[in-house]
Structure 1
Amino acid sequence: MGKTKTTKFKRPQFNTVGLPANAVKGESVEDYDEESCPAAELLDNLQSPSADVRELACASISRVVQQSQTISGFLQRDAVRRLGPMLLDSSVAVRETATGALRNLSACGGQEVCDDMVKHDIMTPLTALLRECCSGLDSCATSMEKKNTGNPVERVANEAVNLLWNLCESNTQALSIFNKAGLLDVVVQCLEKYPHNVELAVSAAHCLHIVTEDNPELLCSINSAILGALENVLLSSHESMAHTLLRALTAGTLWNVKSNFPAAHQAHILNTVVATLSRCLDIDAGVLIPKLRQEENCHLTPPFVDGVEDETMKDLFVDEMGEGEVPNPKKNGKATKMDNDVSDLLPEAGNELREAVALLTAQQTSLEIIVNMCCSDDPSDDEWEESSSSDESELGPDGLCDGVSSLMSPLCLSAEVHEALINHHIPQKVLKKTEFPRPEAIDVCHQNLEWKSIIKRLERVQTRALTCLHSILSTMDLESLGGEAALQEAAQHLSSLVFGRSELPNNAEFLEAVTSALRSLLQTIASKRIPQCMTPQQLISLSETASRCDVVSVRVNAVAILGITGSMLSKEKGSTETIQMIGSALLLIATKDTDLVVNGEALDALFDVFADGDEAEMAAKNIQLLPALKTLQPVFKAKIRKEGRDLPICG
């Protein structure tokens, strides 16, 4: 999809919505035996002259491939080539279940399976299917549709758009085919169904958000009609949380294609995009979620009552890993188990949970878009990926110089974006979202099995808000951030997130986000000579917790925080003892940490802390800094030779 920008969020790599969390994690839903895998029989049944048999086979494949260890058995039996023709089957029901099976296969199989699908030319029947759906969408406006009972063409289109989304996110050839085959018009037509089919529209919006990111080839195909359709969605007045998600995703797409708008119209579009994100962040999920749970309880009738751990319901709604659109129970096996399938008996009460998921996905998306707004579009900038905490943990010797310098690289914010963010009070709203989820929302989610996954989504919004705050702090001046008092208040708030509980949080993703934000804030505070807010004990506690974290950037952030604070203290009288504590901690990290990037950051911090000042000089003598550095020098050089002999020379 192109070059990833500084602290820029990419959309979720695979659309796993509607799948059980354990399908994504690779855990079995049931005991699995290689010999009992029904791949051969199910694939053979695809050739049956009976449409019912073919439909059942596709639905069963949908279920079985959620057990990720079964996927190789299907691929070895040429499942993609054999499922492909089913996309154009004479039976609409077979088309829907076959597309759902391929969607699940792409989501649970990951990039390797998506590559295999494209290699086996799945894009040809998928393109044909999408075009057929497109031609049939307008002709299906029947009285049945007006009664919200849905129509089969739109259900097939929804599955097809989700499969397209997965493939284009994963495979550059699929994206190229998307561009050349003119599929943009098809997806936009699906988007325009938002007044009566928001599920299809949201799927289309996710897909558009993906394919328009870093895709200059596609920008040539975006005309005034498409821009008008996107703007219409953004200006729609539907109040459901699904429509809130739809508008957030469309705002992201408009941001991606902003260069296609006439210059005179760009300021208006930018303001509309930021206003949309601002309204989304205004919604208090901590208040809405208990309200939705109460509404659901009023709708529920046995056997769907709190405390009943129905396994089918669990599979339908427990989606801890998914970051896509609202889950939707289906009969084609996307989200149900092979036994006890009662998805067609589910009451409408599931709408409350879908609304909660939609809101939190919308807020997460909004925060990610704001982060991207704060990114420089200059490809010469040092850049690093913040899409997941695991990426930073992979920084190795080959990334030493880039790894250290990019963590400190300034971001870029245009005057127009800066003004829009300030006018809509985005910094204040982002800071509000960094708070821990309301206890009452957590409590009601704990009370019901299907709602427990909402807790992780609440936590994810907080984490994204912290990363967003980091970007804002890195791009705005003191006045824009509210002045000295606002910065001190923010520093106290971030400190309370880390130290406000009996034990420091040990969640790596949270630690990465909160330490990045705290680091940026302390850098700003230090540059303005504003008094620090962290006690020496808190600093050392943070350092000790970070040292146990596997994510490199967490340890680097903790070291930088020590260095920033120590450098400030070195110029204050009576700080010798604290500087000694910081210096000893930094020496230990420089010596003991296993990662060369962290070692280098610790040395840089030591040089900053002990650069000048009487207090620093006294502390250096007390901890015997110079002899320690002399001892460390050959060890550090040897480590560089061993782990990084091909490293570029840092300038």
Structure 2
Amino acid sequence: MGKIRKPRPGRAKRNEPVEDTSQEEEIPIDSKENAIQTVMDQLQAPNVEEKYCGLQTLALLIEDPSNVPQIIEQGLVKVAAPLLLDAASSVRNAAAGMLRNMSAVSMEICDSMVDQDAMTPLTCYFHEHTETWTPDSSSKTNTEDIDTFVQCINLLLNVCESSEIAIKYVGQTKILDILPRYLDLSVFGNYVVTAVLQCLIVVIEDNPIAMEKIKTNAERQLTILLSLEGNEPSMLLVKTLSAGVIINACSGNIASLPVDVINQIISILATTLGVDHRLACNQISSNVPLSNAAGKVEPPTGKEAQILDNQIKAILDILDAQQSAIEIITNICSCEDNDGDDNDNAQGDDSSESDEMEDDQNQCMNENCTVLAEDRLPPQVLEALISLQLFEKVWARTQVPAQNVLLILKEYEGSQLIHKKVHTLQTRSLLCINNMLSALPAEALGGVSGLYKMWTEAGKLVFTENEDNVNLSESATAVMRAALDKMKLNENGNAGDGSFFKDLRIRECLVPEIRSNLLRMLGSLALLLVTNLNETNTDTVLVQAITQFILEQAHKENDVWVLAEAVDTIIDLYSEDETDVIAAKEDLVQKLTILLPVLKLKARQQKKLPKKYKVLVSTALTNLPRFIKYKRDRVSKVSLD
């Protein structure tokens, strides 16, 4: 799930490595090579204890991802994977957990595992151990067997998420005939059902053979799960995942479903996203143990530990459910997937409605008019998204808890996964917002003022978060770009007077680097608009608004190097001859002439600067007089009549 016009590997992995809960002590080793050879010998030993010990050592080795390539190179997957079929339950469990953790390291590792034929024993495991198995509370190995099944399901999910070969492999086996029986919540419980649903979402996506099997084998179970009562975190997760499977089973074309099912699904998504994840994180942070004077965290014990574990599990369920809901909405609003032949799959009245919408689009194309992205979303879906305020709910997921709360969650080992999932949810939500901006009409997004607010809020994420967070920056930048595009199209292409830039308060930001970045980004946006300028292009108005804003901020700026950045941005923007008319309209030469002595004065007053800033200021001092002279000659030839 979660298409943003990227290939399948773009999806964030849900299946984090599981903790090793065994009490085995780490075996001392002389070197990595010796350890790997020792493990190889142990895995091939006849005795259960030796095999189990080898798997535990291997699990310890892969805790450091840098060890995994060498483990792969030595062919340990070929030796370890067949232990999924071992007669001893403990060995099967250890093998499943280790392989699942290995598959979570990277997609490249998953590909290597498939190359080393991990799929054969994994497939045989499902055929030999799961066709008729049901949990038996009287069995001594019941808990272990349940965990082994879930680890194998998650291993299957990870390799299928990474490898098309693995997906084809699954389609040729009986796995998709077996898994639907595990959707019986009363028999298998939330832990198993949730894992199976997460796996099915991945396996059937863009996979016609798998879609047909799930439609045939799981339609009744999925309908039951979708209609479950209760809004507990675990129930919301199951219902949301069921919605995802149902949509993927119809090629992602939600419009092909009956209207009542569409409304039911959108309602579930709204309920799931209506849970305040920040409030939940705030509450759990009050219960998480803090470090003592020695810097150590003492975890709770007994009943307190169980209560805290349950609370953490509930929040993780909510975050997983919300991420799934976000990914579903992202796909729904990916308008490229909502046109074309997919409408042929619609049924009954839905088919007629879809055909009418397509006819309208074709007629519009024949008449050379523009089909807006928001006009390509099925009307019944658009109505449901707007009426249940899905956009507002998704936007709320882009906000993270307070920094002190995040630090508490990150410090305690038991809640570190919450910290990670909160940030993953934020990034995924921004990507979803990007799609929704294109798919929904401007009035449903708060008009120009609402779009501008989004633009500025996304800008804060770009310039205030850690610059190393590339995914967040990329997602937030995409939102800024989409919001700007929407503002340009507002009111039938009338961009207005650009007044929405006037409220942007750069000076309120105390960090000069952030002010500099924002000025540079505004200039970059204007530069993009300049490339398509003509006499009637409404982008001219936006370029003028951005120019005015940058110059106003330049006059207010106290840090000379930020002022130099603003000057450099203006020079870059107006260096092309095509900008002469706008420069004349804005009286740019006169304004820069006034700004030049201000720059010189601040440069004399602030001589103690880091080298990189000195170079920036020196360059601006050199280039600005030359640019003024060059542009004055150009503008003097422009007639504004």
Secondary structure of the equivalent of 2:214?
A: coil
The 1:311/1:131 distance shift into structure 2, 3 A limit, reads farther
Shift of 1:446: 6.0
Paired with 1:576 and 1:275, the residues of 2 have a C-alpha distance of 43
User: For the Cα contact (< 8 Å) 1:5–1:376, is it kept in 2?
Assistant: no
| Pairing 1:379-394 to 2, within 5 Å after superposition | none
Paired with 1:185 and 1:69, the residues of 2 have a C-alpha distance of 38
Shift of 1:588: 4.8
Counterpart pick for 1:363 among 290, 310, 322: 322
Shift of 1:285: 1.4
The 1:588/1:350 distance shift into structure 2, 3 A limit, reads same
2:449 is equivalent to residue 488 of structure 1: yes
The 1:607/1:176 distance shift into structure 2, 3 A limit, reads farther
2:604 is equivalent to residue 615 of structure 1: no
Structure 1 residue aligned with 2:273? 281
User: For the Cα contact (< 8 Å) 1:71–1:105, is it kept in 2?
Assistant: yes
Shift of 1:8: 8.9
Counterpart pick for 2:84 among 77, 80, 87: 87
| Pairing 1:100-139 to 2, within 5 Å after superposition | 100-108=97-105, 110-138=106-134
Structure 2 residue aligned with 1:519? 481
User: For the Cα contact (< 8 Å) 1:7–1:372, is it kept in 2?
Assistant: no
Q: For structure 1, which segment, 51-60 or 565-574, has the greater mean C-alpha deviation from structure 2 after superposition?
A: 565-574
Structure 2 residue aligned with 1:428? 392
Paired with 1:200 and 1:502, the residues of 2 have a C-alpha distance of 42
Q: What residue identity is the alignment partner of 1:511?
A: S
Paired with 2:461 and 2:164, the residues of 1 have a C-alpha distance of 45
The 1:5/1:123 distance shift into structure 2, 3 A limit, reads same
User: For the Cα contact (< 8 Å) 2:107–2:162, is it kept in 1?
Assistant: yes
2:477 is equivalent to residue 510 of structure 1: no
Whose relative contact order is higher, 1 or 2, with alpha carbons under 8 Å and at least 6 apart?
1
Structure 2 residue aligned with 1:334? none
Paired with 1:184 and 1:476, the residues of 2 have a C-alpha distance of 36
Shift of 1:86: 1.0
Paired with 1:213 and 1:620, the residues of 2 have a C-alpha distance of 60
1:55-89 CA distance string (max 9 Å, x none): 22222212222222322443343212211321111
Q: For structure 1, which segment, 149-158 or 202-211, has the greater mean C-alpha deviation from structure 2 after superposition?
A: 149-158
Counterpart pick for 2:60 among 63, 68, 88: 63
User: For the Cα contact (< 8 Å) 2:3–2:327, is it kept in 1?
Assistant: no
Counterpart pick for 1:461 among 412, 425, 432: 425
- CA RMSD, 1 decimal: 4.9
Q: What residue identity is the alignment partner of 1:103?
A: R
Shift of 1:559: 1.9
Structure 2 residue aligned with 1:269? 261
Specify the structure having the higher radius of gyration (Cα): 2
Shift of 1:421: 0.8
State the TM-score, normalized to the length of structure 2.
0.69
2:525 is equivalent to residue 560 of structure 1: yes
Counterpart pick for 1:414 among 368, 372, 378: 378
Shift of 1:104: 2.0
| Pairing 1:211-230 to 2, within 5 Å after superposition | 211-230=203-222
The 1:611/1:15 distance shift into structure 2, 3 A limit, reads farther
Structure 1 residue aligned with 2:414? 450
User: For the Cα contact (< 8 Å) 1:100–1:159, is it kept in 2?
Assistant: yes
Paired with 1:219 and 1:357, the residues of 2 have a C-alpha distance of 28
User: For the Cα contact (< 8 Å) 2:205–2:251, is it kept in 1?
Assistant: no
Secondary structure of the equivalent of 1:57?
A: helix
The 1:567/1:508 distance shift into structure 2, 3 A limit, reads farther
Q: What residue identity is the alignment partner of 2:398?
A: T
1:15-47 CA distance string (max 9 Å, x none): 334269xxxxxxxx9999744651111221123
Paired with 2:229 and 2:458, the residues of 1 have a C-alpha distance of 36
1:387-419 CA distance string (max 9 Å, x none): xxxxxxxxxxxxxxxxxxxxxx96853323212
The 1:313/1:191 distance shift into structure 2, 3 A limit, reads farther
Structure 2 residue aligned with 1:210? 202
Higher helix share: 2
Secondary structure of the equivalent of 1:197?
A: helix
Paired with 1:424 and 1:268, the residues of 2 have a C-alpha distance of 15
Q: For structure 1, which segment, 112-121 or 170-179, has the greater mean C-alpha deviation from structure 2 after superposition?
A: 112-121
Paired with 1:546 and 1:9, the residues of 2 have a C-alpha distance of 35
Paired with 1:2 and 1:496, the residues of 2 have a C-alpha distance of 22
Q: For structure 1, which segment, 222-231 or 78-87, has the greater mean C-alpha deviation from structure 2 after superposition?
A: 222-231
| Pairing 1:162-201 to 2, within 5 Å after superposition | 162-193=154-185, 196-201=188-193
Shift of 1:577: 7.8
Paired with 1:591 and 1:238, the residues of 2 have a C-alpha distance of 60
Structure 2 residue aligned with 1:154? 146
Paired with 1:501 and 1:259, the residues of 2 have a C-alpha distance of 34
2:469 is equivalent to residue 472 of structure 1: no
Q: What residue identity is the alignment partner of 1:481?
A: L
1:449-481 CA distance string (max 9 Å, x none): 533553343333333333322222222222333
Q: What residue identity is the alignment partner of 1:173?
A: I
| Pairing 1:4-23 to 2, within 5 Å after superposition | 5=5, 10-13=10-13, 15-18=15-18
User: For the Cα contact (< 8 Å) 2:184–2:221, is it kept in 1?
Assistant: yes
User: For the Cα contact (< 8 Å) 2:502–2:549, is it kept in 1?
Assistant: no
The 1:290/1:629 distance shift into structure 2, 3 A limit, reads same
Paired with 2:73 and 2:90, the residues of 1 have a C-alpha distance of 26
Q: What residue identity is the alignment partner of 1:437?
A: P
Paired with 1:168 and 1:476, the residues of 2 have a C-alpha distance of 33
Q: What residue identity is the alignment partner of 1:568?
A: V
User: For the Cα contact (< 8 Å) 1:46–1:53, is it kept in 2?
Assistant: yes
The 1:438/1:84 distance shift into structure 2, 3 A limit, reads closer
The 1:43/1:243 distance shift into structure 2, 3 A limit, reads farther
The 1:205/1:539 distance shift into structure 2, 3 A limit, reads same
Paired with 1:630 and 1:34, the residues of 2 have a C-alpha distance of 73
Paired with 2:12 and 2:460, the residues of 1 have a C-alpha distance of 31
State the TM-score, normalized to the length of structure 1.
0.68
Shift of 1:527: 3.3
Shift of 1:445: 2.8
User: For the Cα contact (< 8 Å) 1:570–1:610, is it kept in 2?
Assistant: no
The 1:153/1:445 distance shift into structure 2, 3 A limit, reads closer
User: For the Cα contact (< 8 Å) 1:95–1:156, is it kept in 2?
Assistant: yes
The 1:614/1:305 distance shift into structure 2, 3 A limit, reads closer
Q: For structure 1, which segment, 472-481 or 508-517, has the greater mean C-alpha deviation from structure 2 after superposition?
A: 508-517
Q: What residue identity is the alignment partner of 2:524?
A: V
